[in-house]
């Protein structure tokens, strides 16, 4: 048999009310006149006339009362049926109050979950003392506000919209929460903000927290999104803290909205020029370019050709002899010349090689200026082909470094 778990709020309320008599709160300022306050029972009556500042009310056979005209927003019409609270008896007439009747009616209508107006009348060690009309209520400290830095004393004398957490009319006990109202309002505002949000929208935000996988960005109106490390920049970012700081203002693009707005994906690199737009024309096949080794994997090395643009130098393209691991032939950060083998802009892939078109390692003694040879082969009429080729080879070999003596 399972044992019901005690509500943490119930424990807090009991602890906060320990030694506090709700029925005596504000008693000094709300003492009844000598003639008696009467009960909280409401009496039905019919307006039979207005005399000066008095409204004459028929309460039953041979039973009349009088209510101050000042308690009405406008003079009531004869025949109007209303409910009144009795506040004593003077000169054979019952002293009535329409405002007190409204307060009693409001107290009777209280139920958990309903919203009421309450005025902050005092403060004790457990929270705030409030009044709903003439009735006392209590608000635990944790239920004052969602703002943890708010000083409860700053609310003294203010009238607040609160949610009824608990009401016990027999004990005249009412517990209120302003925090729940604020949470409800924030949730409603959040849903309205999410409704206006859409993908591809560009917004300004503030970095609130940085993690190894990215940064959380406050978009305002209760919205927060995740800027993943892969979407921070076109250039590779290993640690978000290297390029972002808490409190930094950033411009971001909404990439996706999931789980009803609970998960919002953001990007910064999507607002930067995409180097892949011009890659096919700027990096044609067989072109030789310079790059820097940025990462090494078991299958090859990634070479940065320009900021935000990398190509893959497969392990099979590192030399004329078999290379088992890229680290056997390269070092991270090393600058080298590579040849463009192929470009797949759609897949964002560039295949590289350290071998020239003739299969020799670029920059090695076996490499020959292929462009010069192709030009000579294309112009055989320029003289004896064998002599010209011999001269070209000799010219090319002049650029070799001198061999080191044993």
The pLDDT tens digits for 201-215 are: 999 999 999 999 999
Domain-wise residue ranges, the chain: 8-22+110-184, 37-104, 197-271, 275-353
pLDDT of residue 386: 52
Assess contact for 185 and 222: CB atoms under 8 A.
Answer: no
pLDDT of residue 33: 37
pLDDT of residue 87: 86
Measured CA distances, 300 to 219, 324, 336 (Å):
41, 10, 15
**37-104 fold:** OB fold (Dihydrolipoamide Acetyltransferase, E2P) (2.40.50)
3 state SS of 9? helix
Hey, which bits of 98-220 come out as E strands?
Answer: 115-124, 127-132, 135-140, 159-168, 173-177, 202-211, 214-220
pLDDT of residue 129: 93
* H or E element in which residue 289 lies: strand 288-297
Closest CA relative to residue 222, chosen from 248, 252, 196 = 196
Closest CA relative to residue 55, chosen from 14, 28, 95 = 95
pLDDT of residue 27: 41
Q: How confident is the model at residue 92 (pLDDT cuts 50, 70, 90)?
A: confident
- Token pair for 252: 């971001």
Q: For strands 349-353 and 309-314, give the pairing.
A: parallel
Measured CA distances, 286 to 359, 370, 403 (Å):
12, 11, 29
pLDDT of residue 91: 81
Is the model's pLDDT at 133 over the cut of 90?
no
Domain with residues 197-271, CATH architecture: Beta Barrel (2.40)
CATH of domain 275-353: 2.40.50.140
Domain 8-22+110-184 identical in fold to domain 275-353? yes
pLDDT of residue 271: 93
pLDDT of residue 24: 46
pLDDT of residue 28: 38
Is the model's pLDDT at 272 over the cut of 70?
yes
Mean pLDDT taken over the chain: 82
Is the model's pLDDT at 372 over the cut of 90?
no
Q: How confident is the model at residue 32 (pLDDT cuts 50, 70, 90)?
A: very low
The least confident of 20-29, 113-122, 164-173, 196-205 is 20-29
**8-22+110-184 fold:** OB fold (Dihydrolipoamide Acetyltransferase, E2P) (2.40.50)
Is the model's pLDDT at 47 over the cut of 90?
yes
Is the model's pLDDT at 362 over the cut of 90?
no
3 state SS of 241? helix
């Amino acid at each position: 048999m399972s044992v019901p778990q005690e509500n943490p709020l119930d424990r807090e309320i009991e602890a906060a009310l320990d030694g506090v008599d709700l029925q005596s709160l504000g008693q000094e300022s709300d003492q009844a006149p000598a003639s008696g306050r009467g009960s909280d029972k409401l009496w039905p009556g019919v307006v039979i006339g207005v005399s000066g500042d008095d409204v004459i009310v028929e309460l039953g056979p041979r039973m009349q009362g009088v209510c101050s005209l000042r308690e009405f927003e406008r003079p009531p019409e004869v025949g109007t049926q209303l409910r009144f609270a009795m506040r004593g008896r003077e000169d054979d007439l019952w002293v009535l109050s329409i405002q007190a009747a409204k307060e009693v009616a409001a107290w009777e209508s209280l139920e958990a979950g309903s919203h009421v107006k309450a005025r902050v009348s005092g403060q004790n060690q457990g929270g705030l003392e409030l009044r709903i009309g003439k009735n006392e209520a209590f608000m635990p400290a944790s239920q004052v506000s969602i703002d943890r830095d708010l000083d409860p004393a700053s609310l003294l004398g203010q009238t607040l919209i609160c949610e009824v957490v608990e009401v016990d009319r027999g004990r005249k006990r009412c517990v209120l929460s302003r925090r729940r109202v604020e949470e409800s309002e924030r949730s409603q505002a959040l849903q309205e903000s999410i409704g206006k949000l859409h993908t591809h929208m560009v917004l300004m935000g503030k970095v609130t927290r940085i993690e190894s996988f990215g940064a959380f960005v406050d978009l305002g109106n209760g919205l927060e999104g995740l800027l993943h490390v892969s979407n921070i920049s076109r250039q590779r970012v290993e640690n978000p803290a290297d390029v972002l700081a808490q409190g930094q203002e950033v411009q971001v693009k909404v990439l996706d909205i999931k789980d009803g707005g609970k998960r919002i994906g953001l990007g910064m690199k999507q607002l930067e020029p995409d180097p892949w737009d011009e890659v096919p024309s700027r990096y044609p096949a067989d072109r030789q370019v310079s790059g820097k080794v940025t990462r090494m994997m078991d299958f090859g090395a990634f070479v940065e050709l320009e900021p935000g643009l990398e190509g893959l130098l497969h392990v099979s393209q590192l030399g004329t002899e078999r290379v088992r691991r890229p680290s056997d032939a390269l070092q991270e950060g090393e600058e080298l010349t590579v040849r463009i083998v192929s470009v797949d802009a759609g897949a964002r892939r560039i295949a590289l090689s350290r071998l020239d078109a003739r299969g020799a390692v670029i920059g090695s003694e076996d490499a020959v200026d292929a462009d010069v040879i192709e030009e000579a082969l294309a112009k055989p009429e320029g003289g004896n082909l064998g002599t010209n080729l011999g001269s070209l080879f000799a010219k090319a070999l002049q650029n070799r470094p001198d061999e080191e003596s044993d």
